[in-house]
Amino acid sequence: MKTIKYSIIAMALGLGLTACTDLDEKVYDRIDAGVYYQNEASVKGAVAAIYGQTSQTLAGENFFHLSEYPSDQITWRVWNGGLWGWDEAMKTVLSWHNWTSESTIINNAWNGAWTAIGLSNLLLSDLEGLSAASLGMTDAQLAQYVAEVRTIRAWNYYCIFELWGGALPLNTSASSEVPGSADPDWDTSCKKIYDFIATELDETVGALAKDDDNHSMVNRANQAMNRLLKARLLLNAEAFIGENHYDECEQLSKDIIGGTYGNYAIDSNYRNLYSMDNVKSPEVIFALAAEDGQGAANAISNVRTMVGMWYGYADYFGQSYDGIGAWNCVCLVPSFDNSGTVQPTGGSIGAKSFLDYGDKLGAPYERFDDRDIRKQNYTYDAATKTHGPGMFLKGLVRANFGTGDVLKADADRDGQDLVFVDQLGTFLNQGRDLETVMSPRWGETNSGVRLVKYPLYPNDENGGFKSIDDVQFRLAEAYYNVAECEMRKGNSAEAKKYVDAVRQRYFKASDRTAALNVPGPGFDNFDMDWMLSEWGKEYLGEGNRRRTDLRRFDKFTQGQWWFWGRATEDGISLPAKRDRKYEWYPLPQTAISVNPGLVQNPNY
């Protein structure tokens, strides 16, 4: 789809943008389908709008906030004595599991979520009344476009289903009549939505294309993407509808691995997944197209690349970047408490690891084996235009990818050497005295390890890092699906085999055998806790932790990590186990006000 520019055509300006919030919306900007759609190019342009809006929504900020901050790997913290990053607690309420139906980010996510679905409904309504022959197309070609739109709509529905569950409406019409929740009964509604997504995927897979050796379909919904999404639905069925579909998930995932839906392979160099031309990687099944200056490139880059970047990042990476800003309030959840001897540059010597607390969650940096090539600071070689293999920034930070002068911190540590520590605390006692374990509200400018998974290497003739496509489906997920399904049957050796097929690439040949034979830091056995951790390491920072992992393992509200049960915050309860109502998000109050047919999540 990169050859199809992301231009939102006139048909996108009507009902789709407000389909589930404004009951009185009338469509004045629609162009009659018979006038607009003259040939295949016009159909492509309309379909491109669906992909472009999906990029803005699913790869945008709000879905990332809702999936990562309430989880055990990434957090939003406030710093400079509590003055910077507070944002009226919009993000910290996510880490605290203290949101309500009036929380800003939940409202923003809801408003954005329906745009791609509304556009899809409009387009499908238009295409139903057209003949392929009148467009100079075959029936199979037109059917493929229709199948793409239905698959992308199903994916959008899947992502909002993970957030709002049975409170959702099933809105599949271009009509101005907006339905209420799929069913007044929460469980029945969940089943209806689940069945809708499954049926859409099953009915469309045959009309989709398989990817070819040139990866020409990697930016378009293809058979393997459709099937991997179906496998994702099956894997999470227990969390969604209380049904066990692990055997079906495993078989479907094995079919994907075996090449039934296209030929793919695990990439021996994981950096190829996140670099320029990543669509050429044999592992990538589907990626949202990105091109600097086009469509959603800035929205995508903000979330995946600028997360955790401090305001002086240009000195490390060689330049600043237009249209996007640093997110210095975001960092990895700490691996260590704040005990020990405080150091002048922040952090302490002699702190206790949360692994030593016995936590099976959290402490993401320390979960990586020291032999893992990813557990290094990120670097880039300008001469060869290669980067990695590390994907973190920790410790003393120097300019020019770690080769130049020591960089300086700002704000609360203005003028001091910049040293990123794997701890979160007010070591300067600004805003609040230092405590052994502190809530996410409190940190400093150098608190927390930073993640550089999608690289920030300098702009070049290829358009710079903002032109790196955003990988959403890759073959590793199928391997981990099989591994988890085997683990759930008690077959840990078989589960390990599938995980090892992926994680072996993270170790040098001389380290590989020894490293693969141990479960790694914090674990004594290859068990379900280890399996959940492996999901977390493989997909760290990719916006999936809450929905893909923690809820399915019943750890989202019941698991222990970092500050839960150990920290205090004025007016906020931070118990080790949280209320299960937070396993789903509430509908925004504004949505219920304009659509009385919506039924609020009963727990709210």
Task: Return the DSSP state at 601.
Answer: -
For residues 462 and 358, what is the distance between their CA atoms, to the nearest angstrom?
A: 47
- CB-CB contact of 447 with 419 (8 Å): no
Conformational region of residue 244, where left means phi above 0, alpha means psi within -120 to 50, and beta covers everything else: beta
Written as six digits, the tokens of 274 are 């996140």
Instruction: Give how far the C-alpha of residue 219 lies from the chain's centroid of Cα atoms, to the nearest Å.
Output: 17
DSSP 107-127: HHHHHHHHHHHHHHHHHHHHH
- CB-CB contact of 366 with 522 (8 Å): yes
pLDDT at 299 over 90: no
- 17-37 burial, b at 16+ Cβ within 10 Å, e below that, comes to bbbbbeeebeeeebeebeebb
pLDDT at 446 over 60: yes
For residues 237 and 232, what is the distance between their CA atoms, to the nearest angstrom?
A: 9
pLDDT at 384 over 90: no
pLDDT at 315 over 70: yes
Average pLDDT over residues 371-375: 98
pLDDT tier at 136, thresholds 50, 70, 90: very high
355 backbone dihedrals φ, ψ, rounded to 5°: -65, -35
Task: Return the DSSP state at 158.
Answer: H
Please provide the average confidence, as pLDDT, over all residues in the chain: 90
What pLDDT, on a 0 to 100 scale, did the predictor assign at position 579?
94
Give tens-digit pLDDT for 68-108.
999 999 999 999 998 898 888 899 999 999 999 999 999 99
What pLDDT, on a 0 to 100 scale, did the predictor assign at position 547?
64
Q: Which of 250-254, 263-267, 570-574 has the lowest mean pLDDT?
A: 570-574
Average pLDDT over residues 457-477: 79
316 backbone dihedrals φ, ψ, rounded to 5°: -85, -45
For residues 366 and 23, what is the distance between their CA atoms, to the nearest angstrom?
A: 50
DSSP 133-150: GGGT--HHHHHHHHHHHH
Task: Return the DSSP state at 580.
Answer: G
Q: For the chain, list the domains and their CATH numbers.
A: 34-302+469-481+538-587 (1.25.40.390), 305-450 (no CATH)
Could you tell me the CA-to-CA distances from 514 to 425, 482, 519 in Å, in that order? 36, 23, 10
For residues 483 and 254, what is the distance between their CA atoms, to the nearest angstrom?
A: 10
Could you tell me the CA-to-CA distances from 445 to 325, 329, 330, 451 in Å, in that order? 16, 8, 10, 15
Helix axis angle, 246-257 to 475-488, nearest 10°: 140
| 301 against 432, higher pLDDT | 432
pLDDT at 187 over 70: yes
pLDDT at 20 over 70: no
User: 401-407: long-range contacts (C-beta < 8 A, 24 or more apart)?
Assistant: 401/316, 401/317, 401/318, 402/316, 402/377, 404/315, 407/312, 407/315, 407/316
For residues 553 and 371, what is the distance between their CA atoms, to the nearest angstrom?
A: 28
Average pLDDT over residues 394-421: 95
196: number of CA atoms within 13 Å, CB side?
22
Amino acid occupying residue 223: Q
What pLDDT, on a 0 to 100 scale, did the predictor assign at position 463?
54
Q: How many CB atoms lie within 10 A of CB 376?
A: 16
192 backbone dihedrals φ, ψ, rounded to 5°: -65, -40
Closest alpha carbon to 207 in 146, 130, 285: 146
Amino acid occupying residue 294: Q
Amino acid occupying residue 393: L
Is the pTM higher than 0.85?
Answer: yes
